[in-house]
Structure 1
Amino acid sequence: MKDHINAIYKNHSQFYKILLFVVTTILIVFIFPKSGRFKYNFEKGKPWQTENLYAPFNFAIQKSNVEVLNENAIITSQTSRFFNKKADLAAEVSDSFEENFGKVFNDTLRDYKKIKSKGFSILKDFYKYGILSQDLDLNDQDKVVILVDNVEKKITTYSNLQKLGAIKTTIDKELKGSSLETYSNRLTALFFDVIKSDLTYNRALTDNVLKESLSKVSKNRGVVDKGTLIISKGEVVNDEKYQVLTSLSKEYESQVWSKSSYNWIIFAYTLLVALALLMLLLFIRKYRLDVYKNNTKVTFIFFNVFIMVLLTTLIVNYNSEYVYLVPIAILPLVLKAFFDARLGLFTHVITVLLLGSIVPNSYEYMFLQIIAGIVTILTVSELYKRANLFISVGQITLVYIIAYFAFFVIHEASIDNLKWETFGLFVLCGLATLFVQPLIYVYEKLFGLVSDVSLLELSDTNSKLLKELSNKAPGTFHHSLNVANLAEASANEINANAMLVRVGALYHDIGKMKSPTYFTENQSSGINSHDELSPKESAKIIINHVLDGIEIAKKNNLPDRVIDFIRTHHGTSQVYYFYMKEKANHEDVDINDFTYPGPKPFSKETAILMMCDSVEAASKSLKEPTSSKIDNFVENIINKQKDDGQFLNADITFKEIESIKKVLKRKLANIYHLRIEYPE
């Protein structure tokens, strides 16, 4: 039992990765749509490339959206509009007209009776169907049903209803050309005093009737029987065939599957997802072993894949037309910020392949997203520069638009029906991609990772910790700046992370702040503090600057990637000067008392720092430096480190070490301003 527990503990990292792999697979399969998928791809106007297709079951031919909209428009125009009419209002207005007529027109007028008769006639016409208080947004030919006490009384058209705003026009029209035309204004004024609206639009009843009528519209137009030939190989997919194929595709995906079929679909999705994630895991293991060994980093990568799949699935389930709103390009941006371009692109491709099984127009979608991912990787360099991100997002958006436009023209052979709103989605997607900056900050806090943005902040020599170093140990601070410059140039030469190694160099000796006068670069008074100590005590103080540096770094919340430079910049080398001094006084000397605790450098960047630190520190002892002296000096120091096995754990090659030597020789020659000797 104990052996099993030890084996599990020994391989706990592998067990964790297996668990992570299984959990991620289950979660992705869980959120995927569980319907079957139509196995054929087809495009309008293109030949049918596969074998003859026969109907696998009976299904209805669904009407196109245009057909349904046209039918709805016809029914909407034919549906009656309902108005409630006040039954007694016309008689009330007539009485009021009779009462007020004598006040407006004198009974001594020659046309008194004629005017009165004409007024009652116009009034009767007004209330024949009724008067509306305001004009409604209806067509003149729309059918109107007039209700009195909720009982149908009259049927007419909207044009026959009188509107209050048109009363003057109607009266002028009635009196024009007659002997009564001169009384038009007074008659109009009288009408406005007595007339009242007796019609009210019954919107609720109208909407209910319209809704009921629209609900009776069939979404289908015919049925295809099982076994019927739908399309032959090589036959062009015209409008009719396209509608039949689309109907079959929708019917196939919307079927209620049996429990057995459902389980098979789940099993198939599980295989696809597991295969894709396995490829990602194997890629990390083969080409990014340092990432593979770090469970936090592997979790981070799988988490981002799951988040992108989750967002896309939610959008597809809501409305697949908005699928391009999901900023998939954030994924390679984030991974490039924390790792490298190759891992970012591979992860992006795997994620897009996963999404290809659930999005509509999968080939078009995958082409657009993979191209966008490639553009992201190629264009975004130095993400910490804001202008670079904006330029890259603009290029990504442009690529989306160009590719979508090309696909649309291929499908439609014209741009007449181009969906301009889709371009708006691409622009919104580009704007959403800018969210990568705050997202990177959040990820740094959640997963303890370090991006170039954070490294740029740490490289500021005005930061609190570096200011303290320059005040307490100015010599060490100056040494760190020189090492940073050498290390950055060396990293650029072999394509290592120059920003990371520069930051590591700036902070690698912060432990010397604890006892600055015990280090020669800070001894400005000419007094050596080690003169009063034994070699063993001196060696302990020198060695402890590594442990002190780690302690200070952790108190100041420096990232682990930076602390690694403090741990490894001396590897397991010896404090050779005090070792030899102790050996001169005592025969039996334990070399472990004069050896740094390590570990040895385990990356290109930490190996670069070890070389640059040793060379820069020792270069202060050069007297009358010449090119040959510097060349031999650099060769001796780095070859000794190589012979001691300090670089065995770092993924750095002999060729890269030789390149670093050349950089250091050139830089030191520049520092000491070596010139050729001119004859006197």
Structure 2
Amino acid sequence: MFLYIGTIFLVVYLFPKGGQFKYEFQKGKPWQYENYYAPFDFAIQKSASEIETETQKIKENSEQFFKYNEEIARNVKITVSEKVVPILASSELSDQFKIDVEAKVNSILNTIYKYGYITPESEQQIKNLQITLRSGNTIQKISPIKLFKSSQILAFINSQLGVQPMTQEEHAILNILYEEIKPNVSFDESFTEKALQENLEKISYTKGLISEKERIILKGDIVEGEKLVILNSIKNEFESQVWSKSNYNWIVAGYTILVALAFSMLFLFLRKYRIEIFENNTKVTFIFFNIILVVLLLTVLVKYDAKYIYAAPIVTLPLVLKAFFDARLGLFTYVLTVMLLGFIVPNSFEFIFLQIIAGIVTILTVSELYKRANLFITVLQITLVYFVAYFAFSIIQEGNAQNLNYEKFLYFVINGAATLFVLPLIYIFEKLFKLVSDESLKELSNTNSKLLRALAENAPGTFQHSLQVANLAEAAANEINANSMLVRTGALYHDIGKMLNPMYFTENQSTNVNPHNELTPKDSASIIVDHILKGIELAKKNRIPDRIIDFIRTHHGTTLVYYFYKTEEKLSGSADPKDFQYPGPIPFSKETAILMMCDSVEAASKSIKEPTAQAFDNLVEKIVNKQMEDGQFMNADITFKELQTIKKVLKKKLKNIYHVRIEYPE
């Protein structure tokens, strides 16, 4: 209850607290409701494309500021004068010629620095036909062509100094000018940016006003053009309203009820169909933790920028839940979560449809998650489904494929790439919540693991029996689409309790000495039954996951130790079944049911003295039918058709194992 209430309040806290527009509409579709009139005055908002066009136009026409450095111009004039005067003073040319040359030098400098000499870097920034030149506190608008550029300087000096051939003094002065003249106009980025921002802030996001009770749309009208713009405007108005305290409380109450209903459905599902998960607080916490993570991720993305919602890899939710539990629970939880996300995201119908389709594809296509190739193929399929579904939605809404938002396809690709992170995420969850996934099963099924190696050394016959059962169970699971990795791992560990008293089990007796000959049937049965409890204790001591321990608990169900039961009945005339019964519980899944059948059939097959096809057929039918009659599969989610399939697999495999070879001549 604490988890249930805490999760509800946390999810409601994450939800946006603005208003909700109560009508759903789509571009190009008829208005399904009654005639709609404005409930209050509101402004018509410009569309995103209109604002973008206006913004782009302002950026293109915004004033460009350039800074004129008076100090550089003054220093250049002083330096040139200091170098030119000595040259002219030492020259033997006439005084008039010297005066003319000095006048030309001053004229060149004054002309160049009248508007300025622009730096090459700033020259690249010129975009407008008119720029603003700022010198101190004065500004003037000029054409950029009035500024001198580096490519023009030498030619201009040549043209002004005199006609060819130049005198020696003129050559020297030309070199001085070319070397000393420095650029003094640069692009004023901060001033330009400030002016641009001021202009952008003046953009109006509205383009008209709708008065209260003014008709917006009639029933049956197509939602398009100006009607669509107005409807989007009032929808945004509702969603951006700051609610008063009384309205806020009602909104929160409504959210709380809806979220509570959704989580109640999840609890009902767990209680009815997954009681072992429902009764495990760690597993329930894990499920709700993943739901909260997804809601938190989408909330953050919507608050930052709603266009990124399709980049969120929320299909990792069913992948993770399938890895630790099963596909049905994964899909059920995912659908409920996506429904809750509909309160957060814009265009909720499109979002919910796309995500549910992607989730179904995820559940139906992914198998053996620990195989990286399978995950990669599933991610490609999910991404393709996103592409196709979004394309279909776009052509329905737009009426053609020309207005596709190709940016969303990029988000779908990012979504797929992020989904590949599910493998390390599963590993992290395993360590945090002490759960087991297919990746862990792969490690546990390694026969070189500590516990299985001990079984092979202490009870080699039981170890070989477990290997045979594992092979049979894996083949049967593959045929009925059960979790083959889980059932194989469970089969390898199902008899580990026998290693504590290996000689009391016939497969480990290498001599004719049978310790049961010295015991009563009840004591013998007690030792045989104890291998279940001892196996559970041994598994827990070695930190074997509960999903594997379930196979140890259930592989005999509530059946009898039949041999010693019959022996007691023969010796005493009667026997109490309770003294010879395994403690149970009975199998509660396809996988545990498969193990029970395979374990019994493999053990019994050793007693067939003349292995024939008919003998194996009769053995399998007899054992499986007896288990069905005893109600051992009542709680297992397995059908009659699947039972028949398993029988066929067991018959075929036993015939392959015990096939008769030709007799070789002596």
What do residues 20-57 of structure 1 show as CA deviations (whole Å, max 9, x unaligned)? Answer: 44333222221111111233444556655544433322
Q: Does 1:179 align with 2:170?
A: no
The number of residue pairs the alignment matches comes to 655
Could you tell me which of 288, 291, 302 is aligned with 1:316? 302
- 1:30 is matched with 13
1:302 and 2:302 correspond: no
Q: Give how far 1:321 is off.
A: 0.6
- Per-residue Cα deviation, 1:304-329 (whole angstroms, up to 9, x for no partner): 22222221111111100101011121
Shift of 1:550: 1.8
Q: Secondary structure at the match of 1:319?
A: helix
5+ residue gaps, structure 2, are none
Q: 1:158: how far off? A: 4.0
Alignment of 1:411 with 2:394, yes or no, is: no
2:364 paired residue number: 378
Q: Which residue of 1 aligns with 2:93?
A: 108
What CA distance in whole angstroms lies between the structure 1 residues aligned with 2:121 and 2:624?
94
1:474 aligns with 2:426: no
CA shift at 1:172, angstroms? 4.4
Whether contact under 8 Å (2:132, 2:139) holds in the other structure is no
Measured in 1, the distance between the counterparts of 2:30 and 2:628 equals: 67
Residue 96 to residue 576, structure 1, CA distance change in 2 (3 Å): closer
In structure 2, the residue matched to 1:566 is 552
**How far apart are the structure 2 equivalents of 1:412 and 1:182?**
73
Question: What residue is the counterpart of 1:138 in the other structure?
Answer: 126
User: What secondary structure, in the 3-state scheme, does the structure 1 residue paired with 2:446 have?
Assistant: coil
Say which SS state the counterpart of residue 558 (structure 1) adopts: coil
2:427 to 427, 437, 441: 441
Residue from 471, 476, 485 that aligns with 2:471: 485
**CA spacing shift, 1:131–1:463, aligned 2, 3 Å:** same
Q: Structure 1 residues 180 and 418, CA, compared in 2 at 3 Å: closer, same or farther?
A: farther
Q: Is 2:601 aligned against 1:618?
A: no
Pairwise CA distance, 1:102: 5.0
Task: Note closer, same or farther for the CA distance 1:295–1:653 as it changes in structure 2 (3 Å cut).
Answer: farther
TM-score norm. by structure 2 comes to 0.86
Give the structure 1 partner of residue 440 of structure 2: 454
Asked if the contact 2:68/2:116 (under 8 Å) is kept, the reply is no
Please name the residue that 2:67 is paired with: 83
Per-residue deviation, 1:477: 1.3
| Partner amino acid, structure 2, of 1:318 | Y
Q: Alignment partner of 2:471: what SS?
A: helix
Cα distance in 1 for partners of 2:330, 2:579 equals: 45
Deviation at 1:534, TM superposition (A): 5.8
- Write the distance in 1 (CA, Å) between the matches of 2:26 and 2:584: 64
Does the alignment pair 1:393 with 2:379?
yes
Offset at 1:75? 5.1
**Once superposed, what is the RMSD of the aligned Cα atoms?**
3.6
Alignment of 1:66-215 (within 5 A): 66-72=49-55, 77-79=61-63, 81=65, 83=67, 85-86=69-70, 90=73, 92-101=75-84, 106-108=91-93, 113-136=99-122, 137-139=125-127, 141-148=129-136, 151-152=137-138, 154-163=140-149, 166-172=152-158, 174=160, 179=163, 182=166, 186-199=172-185, 202-215=188-201
Kept in 1: contact 2:317–2:330 (CA 8 A): yes
Residue equivalent to 1:228: 214
Deviation per CA, 1:231-286, whole angstroms, max 9, x where unpaired? 44455555544433333222222122222222222222233323333333444444
CA-CA distance at 1:228 after TM superposition: 2.7
- The answer on whether the counterparts of 1:139 and 1:158 sit within 8 Å (CA) in structure 2 is no
In the alignment, structure 1 residue 325 sits paired with structure 2 residue 311 = yes
Instruction: Classify 1:187/1:292 alpha carbon distance in 2 versus 1 (closer, same or farther; 3 Å).
Output: same
CA drift of 1:81 comes to 1.9
Question: What percentage of residue pairs aligned between the two structures are identical?
Answer: 56
Name the aligned partner's letter for residue 98 of structure 1.
S
Shift of residue 118, structure 1, vs aligned partner: 2.4
Q: Kindly state the Cα deviation for residue 72 of structure 1 after the two structures are TM-superposed.
A: 4.7
Preserved contact between residue 72 and residue 214 of structure 1 (Cα < 8 Å): yes
Letter of the 1:343 counterpart = L
SS in 2 for 1:268: helix
- Write the distance in 2 (CA, Å) between the matches of 1:107 and 1:69: 70
CA contact (8 A) 2:64 2:128 kept: no
Q: Are 1:519 and 2:502 an aligned pair?
A: no
Q: Deviations over 1:161-218 (max 9, x none)?
A: 334564224334556xx62575786554221343345556554444444434443343
> Which of the numbers 262, 275, 287 marks the counterpart of 2:248?
262
Say which SS state the counterpart of residue 235 (structure 2) adopts.
Answer: helix
More displaced stretch, 259-268 vs 585-594: 585-594
Q: Does 1:61 align with 2:44?
A: yes
Shift of 1:104: 5.5
Most deviating of 276-285 and 500-509 = 276-285
Q: Deviations over 1:62-87 (max 9, x none)?
A: 33444445555555535362525436
Amino acid at match of 2:70: K
Stretches of 4+ moved more than 6 A in 1? 582-591
Cα distance between partner residues in 1 of 2:458 and 2:526: 20
Q: Distance in 2 between matches of 1:533 and 1:186?
A: 126
Aligned to 1:13: none
Contact kept? 1:61, 1:243, Cα under 8 Å = yes
Q: Determine if contact 2:66/2:185 at 8 Å carries over to the other structure.
A: no
In structure 2, distance between residues paired with 1:349 and 1:233: 32
Does the CA-based 8 Å contact 1:469-1:513 persist in structure 2?
yes
Separation in 2, partners of 1:81, 1:198: 14
TM-score normalised to structure 1 length:
0.85
| Partner SS, residue 60 of structure 1 | strand
